Copies of this chain bind each other. A is one copy, B any other.
Amino acid sequence: MDPAQDSSKVTIADVAREAGVSKGLVSFALNDRPGVSAETRARILQVAGTLGWTPSLRARSLSSKRSFALGFVIARDPEVLGSDPFFTSFIAGVETVLAPEGLALVLSVVPDASTELATYRTLVTDGRVDGVFLSDLRQDDVRIPYLSELGLPAVTLGRPDQLSPFPSVSIDDTNGIRESVRHLAALGHRRIAHVAGSPAMLHGNRRRAAFTAAMRDAGLGDGQVVETDFSISAGADATRRLLRQDQPPTAIVFANDPMAIAGIGVAQELGVSVPDDLSITGFDDIEFARYVYPALTTVGATPMVWGRAAATTLLGLIRTGSADDIELPAARLIIRGSAAAPTSH
């Protein structure tokens, strides 16, 4: 009765019979494989359309050993995760390429690194996904050899510091840090500090190195650096420590926006005026950055673009067996109100 219900009952056998061909040929036509004449293919597709045939994903999965899904495993303390808007935007970007292809995204949020590996193994054992996204690259990341051994295709967000069989989608975030330091130096700052991310994470390391290099280039020494784990609370603590020194910095370059926003909060709490007494820059340009006061001068990231590029690359790898690395346009500094010339003193 209900056409929607009926159509779900239509199988490849019905289409084959109606079109007067074998099931195999219908399959070939469906999968755009050579060996079907143009007119036969057209007729088959036409019949399929008329009958409202939707090939069974489950049957296709079983016989073709594919899952038509991609996976993303995020290993983070959920509390910290929540404040990082990167992932949802990234996933929205991924979605824009998966949806039209009829592919799905399987997401796992796990609390720690060992659960993370177990999750990848389950994903492979169950044949849940045809490939995965690898984010938050760490130094000498165990996930890379692990996935390689499991035979699971992957794309890394950022270029690993080790031999990797996987394509990468990366962005030059050092440029943003460099621009931040130059901007502050041009405003007249001499004592500039860096609240760095985790040294165990590649982007934390890279931004820190970029900071030091830019400081030297500007003739400002190495600059003081405080390491954190990228979390808001660690950012707040680091800021407090920096400002309580005898010679506090007049500017701080933060490795991400959440920490920078916490930094503004701490400064205000201590009665240190931003940007008059202290200039602050962030990294990521999360939406909050525009709405805190003063609005955060920060480096623009493009998580949706990353998502799209990573999904395209991973699909290419899965389908053709290889894919080129992609380098996205370098991150740029966005100047707003949280950085200004230091007041004389």
Binding site for B on A (CB under 8 A): 4, 8, 54, 56-59, 61-62, 65, 67-69, 74, 78-89, 91-93, 95, 99, 102, 104-111, 115, 119, 122-123, 125-128, 150, 232-233, 235-236, 258, 261-262, 264-266, 268-269, 286-288, 290-295, 303-304
Contacts and interface: CB of A to CB of B under 8 A. Distances in A.
Contacts of A126: 54, 57, 68, 102, 104
Contact of A82 (B119, B128, B287): B287
Identical copies in the complex = 2
A54 to B, nearest CB: 5
A57 B127 contact: yes
A78 B258 CA distance: 18
A107 B91 contact: yes
* Chain A residues touching B, majority SS: helix
Contact of A88 (B62, B88, B235): B88
Given A80-B287, A232-B288, 9 more contacts: A8-B125, A58-B127, A59-B62, A68-B126, A81-B85, A91-B109, A105-B106, A264-B293, A269-B293
B83 A78 contact: no
Which 5 residue pairs spanning A and B have beta carbons closest together?
A82-B85, A78-B92, A268-B293, A262-B291, A265-B293
Contacts of A86: 82
Contacts of A111: 92
A265 B287 contact: no
Contacts of A303: 82
Q: Which of A68, A108, A236, A287 has the most CB of B within 10 A?
A: A287
A167 B313 CA distance: 40
28 contacts: A57-B128, A58-B62, A59-B62, A78-B89, A78-B92, A78-B304, A82-B86, A82-B88, A83-B286, A84-B88, A87-B88, A92-B109, A95-B109, A95-B110, A99-B108, A99-B110, A99-B115, A104-B106, A104-B108, A105-B106, A105-B107, A106-B107, A262-B288, A265-B291, A265-B293, A266-B291, A268-B293, A269-B294
